[in-house]
Amino acid sequence: MTSRLDGLKGKFIQIKEPTRDAVSDTASVEKTVKDIITNVREHGDAAVREYTLAFDKADVANVEVTDEEKLKAVADLDPQTRGDTEFAIANVRRFAEAQMGTILPLEIESLPGLHLGHRVIPIETVGCYVPGGRYSLLSAPVMTIVPAKVAGCDHVIACLPPNAHPAMIAGCHLAGADHIYRVGGAQAIAAMAYGTDTIPAVDKIVGPGNAFVNEAKRQVFGTVGIDQLAGPSEIFIVADETGNAATIATDLLAQAEHDVRTRVGVVTTDRKLAEQVLKEVEKLLKDLPTAPVAGVAWNDYGEITVVEDEDTMVAYSDYIASEHVQVHTRDPQVTAKKLRNYGSLFIGDLASVVYSDKCCGTNHTLPTMAAGRYTGGLWVGSYVKIATHQWLDERGVAAVAPAAVRQSATEKLEGHRRAAELRLSPKQFAVR
């Protein structure tokens, strides 16, 4: 069987190889999640409360955050944090509105009397999962809720773990969530998929989470839509001899501190730079407060690969299809145009992933585990449906009905043939 990597064999060497595989290292959670979903589907709020107590050590009688609690959470934000949150919301909204402006309805007359088109229809009810995680990620609700509101979704709800910092509730409220619920994990996904007496069933679930959340999204897909299945965070940096080792190492560790299973790597045409990056990472880890996380990610999943030329560098990056790809080359705009598989692209050494993670306006909910080969990340288009329609007058029927009648007869689908012929007068139709 041919591998995607076969064409690159002999064209690269690895200065540092990952020692583990973030995908296969995921513990089997399928059975646990299946049981949670079944219980929540059958017992609703009682099951949600049971799992919240078991997993989050919180006994939450009323899972919905009240209006008073929302206002208090916002009031308790220090002015700078609120200002920064609103800055991020404004930037994400501005970019989402510009994207929405490119998604246009369509009407054409394909043949005389045959009218085809599509409408851009907002999804009615969206559920946004807001992770608690190791840190309070204040940007998380901004990225999922704001585009939903820009898209025009009627109802946008947010679920977040009951022990999440109150600032996360404030972020959900400022971003525009219509309802906020204190429930996390697989039980939150199940509740949003099937509904309980308290939490409404939604049409689509978006937002990242841990392995249990991810598996729950996989299992409820079909009953509801989902944005994607997200694994641990990833960053790859594409660099030539002009790259700055200290900058590259800093950006790698910035992502590595997300999780001990973060995949971080560099692919470069310059061996000297590769060796310098390796030294810089080890030096920076000595005084990085998050080194207990970032260091494990680097040791287990870090990678530095040296290739023979830029074309091979581009091919290797496209093979990895990382969530984030930074371009640190002599002419980053030219290099960037050659790349095709990535979640989001950061062109030039001034464009750090952290800006997108927090507040610059592009969405940080992106494809991982090589899904960048076939999809992009969360965006305003994720919250609308492009639904086609058609209408015909007599000229249109005369143009398409004869072919539809003949094809139906060939396929021996008599009901189809009759429906196609019904709209056609005998004068207009003759079998040819």
DSSP string for residues in 214-252: HHHHHHHBTTBEES----S-EEEEEE-TT--HHHHHHHH
Name residue 65's amino acid.
Answer: V
Domains identified in the chain and CATH numbers: 30-227 (3.40.50.1980), 231-376 (3.40.50.1980), 393-432 (no CATH)
Which residues have a Cβ under 8 Å from the Cβ of 289 and sit 6 or more positions away? none
Residue showing tokens 């919250």: 383
Name residue 108's amino acid.
Answer: I
Q: Note the pLDDT of residue 1.
A: 43
Nearest to 5 by CA among 246, 321, 278: 321
User: How far is 250 from 402, CA to CA, in rounded Å?
Assistant: 67
User: How far is 331 from 134, CA to CA, in rounded Å?
Assistant: 37
Q: Is position 324 annotated as part of the catalytic site?
A: yes
Name residue 62's amino acid.
Answer: N
Residue showing tokens 């072919």: 403
Q: Helix, strand, or coil here: 329?
A: coil
User: How far is 383 from 153, CA to CA, in rounded Å?
Assistant: 7
Q: Note the pLDDT of residue 428.
A: 55
**Residue 330 CB burial class (10 angstroms; 0-12, 13-18, ≥19):** exposed
Among left, alpha and beta (phi > 0; psi -120 to 50; other), residue 37 is: alpha
Q: Helix, strand, or coil here: 106?
A: strand
Residue 80 and residue 65 in contact, taking contact as beta carbons nearer than 8 Å? no
354-413 pLDDT per residue, tens: 999 999 999 999 999 999 999 999 999 999 999 999 999 999 999 999 999 999 999 999
Nearest to 216 by CA among 21, 41, 22, 23: 41
Beta bridge partners of 122: 384
325-365 pLDDT per residue, tens: 999 999 999 999 999 999 999 999 999 999 999 999 999 99
**Catalytic pick among 323, 389, 414, 416:** 323
Q: Note the pLDDT of residue 118.
A: 98
User: How far is 39 from 390, CA to CA, in rounded Å?
Assistant: 43
* Helices 211-220 and 185-194: angle between axes, nearest 10 degrees: 20
**Residue 350 CB burial class (10 angstroms; 0-12, 13-18, ≥19):** exposed
**Catalytic pick among 324, 389, 416, 421:** 324
Q: Per-residue confidence of the chain (432 residues) as pLDDT tens digits?
A: 446 666 776 777 888 788 877 555 555 789 999 999 999 999 999 999 999 999 999 999 899 999 999 999 999 999 999 999 999 999 999 999 999 999 999 999 999 999 999 999 999 999 999 998 666 788 999 999 999 999 999 999 999 999 999 999 999 999 999 999 999 999 999 999 999 999 999 999 999 998 999 999 999 999 999 999 988 999 999 999 999 999 999 999 999 999 999 999 999 999 999 999 999 999 999 999 999 999 999 999 999 999 999 999 999 999 999 999 999 999 999 999 999 999 999 999 999 999 999 999 999 999 999 999 999 999 999 999 999 999 999 999 999 999 999 999 999 999 999 999 999 876 555 554
Which residues have a Cβ under 8 Å from the Cβ of 392 and sit 6 or more positions away? 113, 114, 115, 400
Q: Is position 179 annotated as part of the catalytic site?
A: no
DSSP E strands in 269-316: the ranges are: 303-307
Residue showing tokens 């937002």: 207
Q: What Cα–Cα distance (Å) separates residue 18 from each residue in 21, 29, 249, 264, 303?
A: 7, 24, 16, 9, 5
Token readout for 107 is 């009407």
